[in-house]
Structure 1
């Protein structure tokens, strides 16, 4: 029995040494190569986002609400989280051409009368020269300010490694139901 215990201890020691040798040989990267100098581009985009909370087929729906805002009369009370699939259109008319969609989340992040959203939204383009590409926004959006700015923090496709900003202007806002049409003037730097 004592001999079996000694053999077991030796086997465990050998196993520990083998496992540590395996992990010491593994690598978390493949190869570092010199960066090719890419020419940075600047692209300006102009479109309208339709954020509709009302009707039979809203494009933004509340998926969570804080229990402390029960009875709040605001269309977007503090602590409310919304899932978004808003159409992006060429113009402010609801019949204008759809050029993409904004998909993501926003949360009502202000306890005061100044409606402010914290948003993570991916603006994907489905037509034109940027078809299949998108821009990512992760920013504060002070909705009660008629003109405001949000940060572009990334992108994919033709907007890979994007950074920039979007100037927003409220074109239409229904304060009772939260429906809004927002004009976007975007400046994006990308490769």
Structure 2
């Protein structure tokens, strides 16, 4: 028994030495990131970035909209683009104006260019601030978790500008 215990300890020490010598360190906890940008959801005009693909059977319930919305650094559409929001939202309530949002926030500039964050959640559009979940991502945000605080900056029905504060734990 004593030699088995010594062998296990020696093996564990050898693994640690190999990891350190090879430059492969166990993943340290990465710093959290706060991303801030504006999403331009445009269903009308010459170049819409959101398209309704399903009409619900009554009122808006069941309406499904596919998005490829631009994300900008400021609320103005002419400000610098930082990425795209690609996904869909569905009117998922027969009473209140509530959406089920599933989208990928694809970053195209800045320190996280090439990475993405996966966002899923309920958007109660009547609330001043809504919270959605970060459930994953790619690149720097692989296996990320976190949340998005999302609010409407302007609404020119059916077009909207939303402000997103994304808090990610990579």
**Structure 1 length as normaliser, TM-score?**
0.73
2:130 corresponds to 1:148: yes
Q: CA deviation at 1:40?
A: 2.7
Unaligned runs of 5+ in 2: 1-18, 20-24
1:8-19 pair list within 5 angstroms: none
User: Residues 1-191 of structure 1: matches in 2 within 5 Å?
Assistant: 36-66=26-56, 68-69=57-58, 72=59, 77-112=60-95, 114-174=96-156, 177-190=157-170
How many residue pairs were aligned?
147
Q: Please give the alpha-carbon distance, in whole angstroms, between the structure 2 residues aligned to 1:126 and 1:136.
A: 15
Residues 129-159 of structure 1 deviation map (CA, whole Å, 9 limit, x = unaligned): 1110000011111111111111000000011
Per the TM alignment, residue 102 of structure 1 is displaced from its structure 2 partner at its CA by: 0.3
Q: What SS class does the counterpart of residue 158 from structure 1 fall into? A: helix
Aligned twin of 2:4:
none
Superposed CA deviations along residues 24-76 of structure 1, whole A, max 9, x for unmatched, are xxxxxxxxxx992432320011100000111121111011123x22xx4xxxx
Runs of 4+ in 1 over 6 A off after TM superposition: none
Alignment partner, residue 22 of structure 1: none
Structure with greater proportional strand content: 2
Distance 1:147 1:80 in 2: 22
Distance 1:170 1:37 in 2: 37
CA offset at residue 120 of structure 1? Answer: 0.8
TM-score of the superposed pair, with normalisation by structure 2: 0.82
Deviation of the 1:108 alpha carbon: 0.7
Superposed CA RMSD: 1.5
